[in-house]
Chain A
Amino acid sequence: MSAAEEVVTEAPAVEAVPKRAMTLGYGTSLAVLAALILIPLFVKNFIIFQMTMLLIYGLAVLALNILTGGSGQFSLGQSAFYAVGAYTSAILMEHAGMNYALTLPIAGLICFGFGFLFGQPALRLSGVYLALATFALATAMPQLLKLGYFEHWTGGVQGLVVTKPDAPFGLPMGQDMWLYYFTLAVSIAIYVASVNLLRSRSGRAFMAIRDNEIAASAMGVDVALYKTLAFGVSAGITGVAGGLGAIAVQFVAPDGYTITLAISLFLGMVVGGVGWLPGSIVGSAFIIFVPNIAESISKGLSGAVFGVLLFLVIFLVPHGARQVAIVAQQLIAKLKKN
């Protein structure tokens, strides 16, 4: 069968990452966590807002990382899942008057279903073809959101304005700080769950499929099920990120979820290191802060400057933040020896 041969001879889409290399060491994790908890106490609200967006995009990059780094499937359609999550949260909050925290699991579930269903036809595609199919999804989404049929709920082109929640139980903190810690809690929960997922039986199945589909099915892995499952999980997490994004930005509109967002997330994943989950937050920082840096260098040529910076990163550290982390680890080990 030629299709099978193709799969065998085709170079693996994603380089195999051993599962232990997917996480940070215990000490480093705690240090990062401490920084994430403490920094907001000392900075302006605007920085807190940026950090909230950092976590939110970090979640979306993480979701893509599970799909691509974990199960070896490409997606340029994450913006579509992000949009569905954002709109689900916004519509439930503004039209149904639901509590913001409750809308997140619903956004996640709906996106999981959406992603799982999209995963079915995607089974027949791999590599660049799958990337193109998801690309189509991302291009279609903003226009679907503008459709007259849904306008009553989605607000059409005008979008929906979302009310920002206050801190509960009379906690003495501002809206931004509360939302940050809320997002942090959700992010940590999802991060821990993702790490455990990839270490579990299902995670091993994902990676087996990524490394060699035929070998995986020979070992008894239900390839179709696990591939769609990976899509579902990834879409679900992206949906939660989208919901959080809607609450943080206080506004959803079709123009916020174009293909540019999908490409940014993809970029974040590559810069963070494909298959290295902690890299997600580095990738997210790249897509949030580097355009600002580029703009401060030259306003007229910000796009070109961004391109040069991106090129440098890809050229110097092709494996992204993971590579930097490994080099740093080796340096520290060397210093300890001396």
Chain B
Amino acid sequence: MLLTVRIAAISAAIVAVAATSSAALAQKKYDTGASDTEIKIGNIMPYSGPASAYGVIGKTEEAYFRMINDQGGINGRKVNFVSYDDAYSPPKAVEQVRKLVESDEVLAVFNPLGTPSNTAIQKYLNSKKIPQLFVATGATKWNDPKNFPWTIGWQPSYQSEAQIYAKWLMKEKPDAKIAILYQNDDFGKDYLKGTKDGFGAKASSAIIMEESYEVSEPSIDGHIVKIKAANPDVLLIYTTPKFGAQTIKKTAELGWKPLQIITNVSISVGSVMQPAGFDNAQNVLSAAYAKDGSDPQWANDPGMKKWNAFLDKYMPGVDKTDNGVVYGYGAAQTLAKVLEMCGDDLTRANVMKQAASLKDFAPDTLLPGVKINTSATDFAPIAQLQMQRFKGQKWELFGEIISGDVPSE
């Protein structure tokens, strides 16, 4: 009898000890790449090669985490941001990501840039159960939590943006004859598909011309002349910045005044509107989700003040008109928020869980009203845009924030 009581007491004590120690363990949990003092985050960027202009995004992110570390890190841990060059080449991307995972042993891969590079590493990262966080591409396929639970997007997808334009046109200009100029790659084709999906059954009658160009062409003037000959009254410009500026300029030179809508990728005041000529760019339409660093209307915006202070201290001399600086800041801030939410549970599973639990998060650089929302079934963090019109030397927002969620396929 006494014996059983004693056994019961001992086992109760053991259970109690086990419970407290497991509670203590639950407070701090780490996977490879995280410890009491450090969180290791990997990244790949095209610092060289055809897309090297985007390299500034990686540099901004690196500087952002330097600032975070100077402020004491995240929950007391420093962020070690390891970024490699993939030269925008898929085989190189695979090599560098494997280096990050197997040699540097990072906790997660954050904001890798480019649709081809991300496609190349997606299967590998998912099979190793390593978060592929906030990929820097607007392709629609990243919102696919069922098949790729370790991959999550960040910016609005090209297709959802195009759908917003189609919806707006159907409402405002129902009888428009529309011509589309698009870049002959995944980027341009995603926009084309989104526009057609947005018009639905009306697509074949509303869109009278689809003209594509190759990114390697030096000038697209010939395409504009060809489009003008078909005499549409709306021109959708689905181009990268250089060609966007050329299009706006050439249309004006031809004395042609269609309603022009230009993709969000090419809305930089400094690198598109100014080279195109402010006079030529009047009344061009677009949609935006982030603030423009060179736009004076944000001079007194608290978020952009923080952004400016950050640039002055950590990236002195950087070109503030470069949209990549705005982009990198917003993406890095989102990651910092996720890591903060993880608390002391820095396992890969929890990082992914927290990345999919963002509620109404508004980074400093996003437009007022645009908020990041994710859930276990919604891996498209930013899905809202607002229409804007170019007036004078800046974009003027109008209308309300439009949601353009494209369901995962």
Size category of the binding interface on chain A: 20 to 34
Least distance between A297 CB and chain B CB atoms (Å): 12
Cβ–Cβ < 8 Å partners of A29 in chain B: none
Cβ–Cβ < 8 Å partners of B120 in chain A: 159, 249-251, 253, 256
Q: Is A260 part of the contact surface with B, judged by Cβ < 8 Å? A: yes
A253 & B184 in contact (Cβ 8 Å cutoff): no
**Once bound together, how far apart are the Cα atoms of A304 and B384, in whole Å?**
41
Task: Encode contact with B along A12-44: 1 for CB under 8 Å, 0 otherwise.
Answer: 000000000000000000000000000000001
* Contacts beyond the supplied A157-B185, A295-B85: 18 A-B pairs with Cβ under 8 Å: A46-B98, A49-B95, A53-B91, A53-B95, A139-B216, A146-B184, A157-B115, A157-B116, A158-B186, A251-B94, A255-B88, A255-B90, A256-B89, A256-B116, A295-B47, A299-B47, A300-B55, A303-B48
Task: Encode contact with A along B361-375: 1 for CB under 8 Å, 0 otherwise.
Answer: 000000000000000
B90 & A253 in contact (Cβ 8 Å cutoff): yes
Cβ–Cβ < 8 Å partners of A47 in chain B: 103
The one of A44, A50, A158, A302 in contact with B119, judged by C-beta atoms closer than 8 angstroms, is A158
Cβ–Cβ < 8 Å partners of A139 in chain B: 216
B123 & A250 in contact (Cβ 8 Å cutoff): yes
**Once bound together, how far apart are the Cα atoms of A302 and B91, in whole Å?**
18
Cβ–Cβ < 8 Å partners of A157 in chain B: 115-116, 185-186, 189
Least distance between A54 CB and chain B CB atoms (Å): 11
Size category of the binding interface on chain B: 20 to 34
Q: Which A residue sits closest to B104, measured CB to CB?
A: A46
B94 & A249 in contact (Cβ 8 Å cutoff): yes
Cβ–Cβ < 8 Å partners of B99 in chain A: 46
A295 & B185 in contact (Cβ 8 Å cutoff): no
Least distance between B135 CB and chain A CB atoms (Å): 14
A299 & B85 in contact (Cβ 8 Å cutoff): yes
B90 & A50 in contact (Cβ 8 Å cutoff): no
Q: Is B124 part of the contact surface with A, judged by Cβ < 8 Å? A: yes
B119 & A253 in contact (Cβ 8 Å cutoff): yes
Least distance between A93 CB and chain B CB atoms (Å): 14
Interface centre among B48, B91, B120, B124 (most CB of A within 10 A): B91
The B73-113 residues at the A interface (CB cut-off 8 A) are 83-85, 87-91, 94-95, 98-99, 101-103
5 contacts between A and B (CB under 8 A): A49-B95, A157-B115, A159-B120, A251-B119, A253-B119
Q: Is A143 part of the contact surface with B, judged by Cβ < 8 Å? A: yes
Least distance between B101 CB and chain A CB atoms (Å): 8
Least distance between A245 CB and chain B CB atoms (Å): 7
**Once bound together, how far apart are the Cα atoms of A228 and B77, in whole Å?**
63
Task: Encode contact with B along A249-263: 1 for CB under 8 Å, 0 otherwise.
Answer: 111010110101100
Counting residue pairs across A and B whose Cβ atoms lie within 8 Å, the total is 87
**Once bound together, how far apart are the Cα atoms of A49 and B87, in whole Å?**
19
Q: Is B214 part of the contact surface with A, judged by Cβ < 8 Å? A: yes
**Once bound together, how far apart are the Cα atoms of A300 and B317, in whole Å?**
15
The one of B47, B98, B122, B189 in contact with A300, judged by C-beta atoms closer than 8 angstroms, is B47
Q: Is A267 part of the contact surface with B, judged by Cβ < 8 Å? A: no
A255 & B89 in contact (Cβ 8 Å cutoff): yes
Consensus secondary structure, chain B interface: helix
Q: Is A161 part of the contact surface with B, judged by Cβ < 8 Å? A: yes
Task: Encode contact with A along B44-83: 1 for CB under 8 Å, 0 otherwise.
Answer: 0001111000010001000000000000000000000001
A302 & B90 in contact (Cβ 8 Å cutoff): no
Cβ–Cβ < 8 Å partners of A330 in chain B: none
Interface centre among A49, A295, A299 (most CB of B within 10 A): A299
Q: Which B residue sits closest to A295, measured CB to CB?
A: B85
Cβ–Cβ < 8 Å partners of A50 in chain B: 95
Task: Encode contact with B along A188-201: 1 for CB under 8 Å, 0 otherwise.
Answer: 00000000000000
Consensus secondary structure, chain A interface: helix
B102 & A146 in contact (Cβ 8 Å cutoff): no
The one of A49, A146, A261 in contact with B185, judged by C-beta atoms closer than 8 angstroms, is A146
**Once bound together, how far apart are the Cα atoms of A249 and B95, in whole Å?**
8
**Once bound together, how far apart are the Cα atoms of A44 and B99, in whole Å?**
10
Q: Is A45 part of the contact surface with B, judged by Cβ < 8 Å? A: yes
Least distance between A293 CB and chain B CB atoms (Å): 12
A49 & B116 in contact (Cβ 8 Å cutoff): no
**Once bound together, how far apart are the Cα atoms of A295 and B86, in whole Å?**
10
The one of B49, B124, B185, B216 in contact with A250, judged by C-beta atoms closer than 8 angstroms, is B124
Cβ–Cβ < 8 Å partners of A300 in chain B: 47, 55, 59
Q: Which A residue sits closest to B52, measured CB to CB?
A: A303
Cβ–Cβ < 8 Å partners of B214 in chain A: 143
A302 with B85, Cβ < 8 A, contacts A157-B186, A251-B90 known: yes
**Once bound together, how far apart are the Cα atoms of A245 and B91, in whole Å?**
8
Cβ–Cβ < 8 Å partners of A245 in chain B: 91
Q: Which B residue sits closest to A139, measured CB to CB?
A: B216
**Once bound together, how far apart are the Cα atoms of A156 and B187, in whole Å?**
12
A253 with B95, Cβ < 8 A, contacts A146-B185, A302-B47, A302-B85 known: no
B119 & A46 in contact (Cβ 8 Å cutoff): no
Least distance between B181 CB and chain A CB atoms (Å): 17
**Once bound together, how far apart are the Cα atoms of A53 and B95, in whole Å?**
9
Cβ–Cβ < 8 Å partners of A249 in chain B: 90-91, 94, 120
B95 & A260 in contact (Cβ 8 Å cutoff): no
Q: Which B residue sits closest to A261, measured CB to CB?
A: B89
A250 & B84 in contact (Cβ 8 Å cutoff): no
**Once bound together, how far apart are the Cα atoms of A316 and B88, in whole Å?**
31
Q: Which A residue sits closest to B186, measured CB to CB?
A: A157
Interface centre among A139, A158, A300, A302 (most CB of B within 10 A): A158
The A235-284 residues at the B interface (CB cut-off 8 A) are 245, 249-251, 253, 255-256, 258, 260-261
